[in-house]
Chain A
Amino acid sequence: MDDFYREIIIDRYKTPLMKGTLDPHDYSYKDDNPLCGDEIRIDLRVDGAGKVTEAAFEGHGCAISMASADLLVESIVGKDLDEVKSLSKEDILEMLGIELSPVRLKCALLSLKVLKAGVYGVDALEEELE
């Protein structure tokens, strides 16, 4: 059990560092996973050079989805949008440091899906993530 709910996951779930909304923002996107009811919104502010200056997320869900959203949003501050676009499933799993079953993988990847849909401005990224 301890290997699954690592301290970092429980900590980030209970006391997220990046929770909130940004108003105004340059990018904002929201999506849900209707099967488990998880919902995540991510807001970004980007400077003239295309670098993320501020980021925040809002939403509700299981420990895996919330912790991965918090870690992901934290990791993109200071990154170029091109770097954000190239983030992959493996990057998320590395941040979480655990292995996930296919069902729980959907929880972990919801925030990445929301982020990419936000920066690409499209919703059709499921294929890339699967």
Chain B
Amino acid sequence: MAPDVKSVNFDVTRVRSRFPVLTRELYPGVPLIYMDSAATSQKPEDVIEAMSSFYELQNANIHRGIHKLAEEATSSYEAARVRISSFVGAGNPREIVFTRNTTESINLVAYSWGRSNLKSGDRVLLTEMEHHSNIVPWQILAEERGIQLDFVPVTDDGKLDLDAYSQLLESKPRLVGFTHMSNMLGTINPVKRMTAEAHAAGALVLVDGAQSVPHLPVNLVDLDVDFYAFSAHKMLGPTGIGILFGKKELLQEMPPFLGGGDMIKRVTLDGFSSNSLPYKFEAGTPAIAEAIGFGVAVDFLTELGMEAVHAHERQLTEYALERLEEVPGILVYGPSLAEKGGVMSFTFEGVHPHDVAQVLDRDGIAVRAGHHCAMPLHEKYKIPATTRASFYVYNTTDEIDTLIEGLYKVKQLFG
């Protein structure tokens, strides 16, 4: 039977009690088993209450306000930035730019840094395991500027081919962009090593941290990356807010992304001068309540401890891999436990992922079916789609047992 995940430093029952949605019955007598956290995580009451409380007691626009509410709102917003900055070990909160999400963060780099630095014939090196959000912005730029995109291949066991990576670096890309953790395979890439190698080859490094920051301890100074993007909503925070980290020297040289209020120092009818960092990249009224909610999500994770979060998910991943292997016809994609986060994408022989997800839904199990915004990766493995179960702080081995029972029901129905 399931090993006991309740350890001294991670009380999953207590964690679960903080998530209101987990008390919901999806169908009569059928509780929610949420295994779609790689798409978006659930939110603890702390985050929900902090956002309501902002609107109930503090709501005002930030910056330049003289009145008390505006001062309070500004200070809450900026305090969130400082906490997020220290959560990911950035050197300086000015290097933390609020955006809408990971996608917008990557687009910001492609638009601002890319358009002012890349010319026809320059190369950008990506990988085959990227989410569409780290492919399409560069394809747009390739079309516009005539830059050349190269892709590090993925091995059959779902890892980046690091020998091929070293070889591709010899063609002197200006920038290397890769994911810290694959949203389909769960592969955790060796960011520090890959970054050092890219720097030695003269390339800047952009890392998509959408799947890693929620699940692993991340220290940006230690990783030495140049740009790093992540979203609040995958790490217990609200939708509509994300982060672009950029090294100060780089952000300072980059032209603004969007123009408008808050991003300027001075405007005349002849032109404008940009505001200092990070405001240069935060045009218009930002998502203030969301930033505050994001800060509380980070506090929540800090309280749990990211080492403990990672250890908990590792236990779930190990157990899930073991149990999925028992079910005939199931094939799990991605590397073995040592390099894998809590993302299980699998095919079920003879059953389409839509049908798997539909049958599981009747048992209250929320999984995702499709290409998970990684169409090139599915094409590589020659599969149209997969079913993906992804885990987070609130999942238990009992829930994995229910998942496996559900998969046997699928087998019975379609077998």
Q: Which residues of A contact B (CB under 8 A)?
A: 1, 4-5, 10, 13-14, 34-39, 60-65, 104, 107
Contact = CB atoms under 8 A, between A and B. Distances in A.
Given A62-B352, A63-B352, A63-B414, A35 B359 contact: no
Nearest to B409: A1
Given A36-B369, A62-B354, A10 B413 contact: yes
B414 A14 contact: yes
B59 interface: no
A1 B355 contact: no
A65 B355 CA distance: 10
Contact of B385 (A10, A37, A64): A37
A38 B413 CA distance: 20
Given A1-B362, A62-B352, A62-B354, A10 B369 contact: no
Interface residue tally of chain B, by bracket? Answer: 10 to 19
Given A10-B413, A10-B414, A14-B414, A37 B371 contact: yes
A63 B371 CA distance: 18
A60 B371 CA distance: 15
Interface in B346-388: 351-355, 358-359, 362, 369-371, 375, 378, 383-385
A62 B362 CA distance: 17
A105 B73 CA distance: 45
B319 to A, nearest CB: 26
Contact of B384 (A5, A60, A63, A107): A60
A35 B384 CA distance: 9
Most buried by B among A13, A36, A37: A37
Given A36-B369, A64-B355, 19 more contacts: A1-B359, A1-B409, A1-B413, A4-B362, A5-B355, A5-B358, A5-B413, A10-B413, A35-B370, A36-B353, A36-B354, A36-B370, A36-B385, A37-B378, A37-B384, A39-B384, A60-B384, A64-B354, A104-B354
A34 B375 contact: yes
16 contacts: A1-B409, A4-B362, A5-B355, A5-B359, A10-B413, A13-B414, A14-B414, A34-B375, A35-B371, A36-B354, A36-B369, A37-B385, A39-B384, A64-B355, A65-B352, A104-B354
A63 B355 contact: yes
Interface in B383-415: 383-385, 409, 413-414
Contacts of B370: 35-36
A38 B384 contact: yes
Contacts of A63: 351-352, 354-355, 414
Contacts of B409: 1
Nearest to A39: B384
Q: Which 3 A-B pairs have the closest CB atoms?
A: A37-B384, A62-B352, A62-B354
A36 B386 CA distance: 9
A118 to B, nearest CB: 22
A29 B293 CA distance: 51
